[in-house]
């Protein structure tokens, strides 16, 4: 079955450590996104990529970094510069280059806890 996989489902880190969240899709989608979800705040866009080797900052990119070396993969690194990294992180993809036209397909999410 085609879909988006995120690993691991739960991740625990000590404050001051960088951590990388994995996102892989086999849907042959062009665009991929990372969202952060906090209780009562909906989803906030961190980064998105419309094509390989290109990505744009979203609304809350500070303290995060991404890469898009392959169409199928869009890993997110949460750096020590992120002030409040504990959250639920969701990866998504869409068929076309435009967010505005197509529905988004979501992965199951990674819950990151930093202590």
Partner 1 sequence: AQSVTQLDSQVPVFEEAPVELRCNYSSSVSVYLFWYVQYPNQGLQLLLKYLSGSTLVKGINGFEAEFNKSQTSFHLRKPSVHISDTAEYFCAVSDKTSYDKVIFGPGTSLSVIP
- The residues binding partner 1 (CB under 8 A) are 4, 6, 9, 40-45, 48, 50, 58-59, 90, 92, 97-101, 103-109, 111
Q: Which tokens sit at 109?
A: 């999410």
Q: Are strands 110-114 and 10-13 parallel, antiparallel or unpaired?
A: parallel
DSSP codes of every residue in 42-69 = -EEEEEEEEETTEEEE-TT-TTEEE--S
- CB 16 to partner 1: min, Å: 27
Which residue's CB is nearer to partner 1, number 14 or number 100? 100
Give the residue carrying structure tokens 């952060």: 36
Which residue's CB is nearer to partner 1, number 51 or number 81? 51
- CB 84 to partner 1: min, Å: 18
72, 25 Cβ separation under 8 angstroms: yes
Which residue's CB is nearer to partner 1, number 13 or number 105? 105
């Amino acid at each position: 079955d085609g879909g988006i996989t995120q690993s691991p489902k739960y991740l625990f880190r000590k404050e001051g450590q960088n951590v990388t969240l994995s996102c892989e899709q086999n849907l042959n989608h062009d665009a991929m996104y990372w969202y952060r979800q906090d209780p009562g705040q909906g989803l906030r866009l961190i980064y998105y990529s419309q094509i390989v080797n290109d990505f744009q900052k979203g609304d809350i990119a500070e303290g995060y970094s991404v890469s898009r070396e392959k169409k199928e993969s869009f890993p997110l690194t949460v750096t020590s510069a992120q002030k409040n990294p504990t959250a639920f992180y969701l990866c998504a993809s869409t068929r076309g280059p435009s967010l505005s036209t197509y529905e988004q397909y979501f992965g199951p999410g990674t819950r990151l806890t930093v202590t």
